[in-house]
Structure 1
């Protein structure tokens, strides 16, 4: 279990241990420096205290284990008159002043001074000084080390107290009903947790909007399906009441047409639900040649255009333009653009498809010679189930909504303008593939 509280406590304790270690090292160095200065002073004072003593001849004193200093005295001819510790590893010659000598027994701090007709040398192992400095540093750290468990308990309590607002926020979210999408209160939340609370509120607002859109979609779909289903029921009743074959055949023809419209509406609803941003798992994006996409869509609608007497063709297709996208979804987009233009263009009209580059984007354009759409209604036709007033051709009002949804998922822009053919131009701009 990845506990934030435990992680913070262990991190803080680790930081304290590191600080203690660094403090101990600094204390050791400072104590060592002070002890060096004090011991050097003592060496000199000890040497000066021996100047009045007389040494008649060479003498080696028995060793005294309690004395951590070695004393050597020479006369003015270089004869050693006194040695406090036999078998010492110190050199047999003196270098005046303070020196640090490296021997087989380690480093020694040595002080030599000429007094009257003698040369006096006092030496002390550096290990003695290091031991004293370590003892001083340890005595400084022992109280802190002893207080470490108390510091750990105090840190555990304080971290837990600091995390209580997050626990309250978690309880607030956990105890909510699925349909409770009100914003979380920001009072009492620390500054560090406010970005999380604001992000949750933004997510709740997005969920509220998505549920509102979903409810509106279901209501609109039910309303739109009610009309064709009622018409199918009436046409079925007319078939049942037909008294002769001619009347029955006409009623069956109307029923077949109504079934086609209902089927088309259901298919459009399913397509729109599938193409909504964030619905399902996004398909893998590939490099899509827009010119090839346009050619396939033109071939798919060639029969419909011939049936309705529409001159359907390509004005200019740039084969060098491509975008990254979902091939199936982009084919649905292009198909809906062409299908919409063919259905709403009067017989004998014209529909042109083009692919070109402008202002750094790749544009798929569909122009028609139909009645067009007034400027004030061009943005609304991208909404679901919206149909401009005065439309003679039956439809579901979903074709351009599907186009807008797919374009939004591909971060493409949809622009509606007047067409040079006299009708409407719908252009979709894609980012070029790298």
Structure 2
């Protein structure tokens, strides 16, 4: 799992947990405070009725007081045109439907009910204070007090469902902003993490695009302080790696240069001696030739690795392939090999270094000729493919096993079934040249099922305007 995803999950989970705890806490606290507010309102309603009773009780008989209180505290009754919704104002200014969930009761000092809208059982006697009472299908919250002056008992009651409904709505109104803000907060966290890691991605790009021949330190000016030490350590490693590679390249080049002159002199002396006894010096001359070939390959590999003098220019790949085939014709004739070209692209423009491409093609063609038995063909096909051009060189030799092909492209690797005079650098150099041109080199089998090896070189086109030759009739 990436660090970005891990941080996103961790921070988002933490934010969600904190927001959830805050929402639950807010809901519980709000619900408790609303219960306190409803109780205070219930007590206030009871005291208002108490004041009304105090004003009326001294001057009114009990039955007349009951009529006055019934008319004054009468609840709105259902009428035609009322909707079924609870939270609505009744038509005609008759009040609010929530009033039907509120009740008042008044008892005389002797316990005789004067206003009894809720037929509750009071056999146990009236008791002052708050209480929960059950009646029919509902529970009621009640507050009861006794007027000290008149001795009357007054009670106000609220249905539990209206208290719960209002509590939920008010608490939800407090919690809902947190629920809405939470997704926005998560999005903000994700964006912030992405922006925070952008400097690291800026550092990643030069490392990803860094080639062995162009190793350079990273620009630490825009790196965060937290990774400044890491950038310095990487730069130190890159410097040491560059120095090691430079020493290796310099050693290879120096060794090859030092060997070239004595080998040339040795070969010249052998040629002079061979005029007298040629049969005695043939094998020695071949050994010197192999050493000269190795030195030339080491020099070429050193130049290719260093990337020095590489100046690409638009050239016709078809002409370069034809020239390379012409260069190896003497070698093919000497071994009775027939080189064959199937070029489906008359004009194939690629951005390349002509000398390197010629070296690569000649090396691959020479390998194909060397490992093909006499009397066979080495076929070169060329076609346009995937925004570039594919050159396929196939021989009829023993081929290379699938499990050995990647190893065959390594330096100084010679497989048992492909023994020759080389040192195992030909395919490695060819692949390095293809990589240098942003192309690829792969090994495969022949499509006709015969034994042999096919080397495929793909190079990107520099100009999409290409001419395709007509297909030859069978």
The TM-score with structure 2 as length reference comes to: 0.44
The TM-score with structure 1 as length reference comes to: 0.47
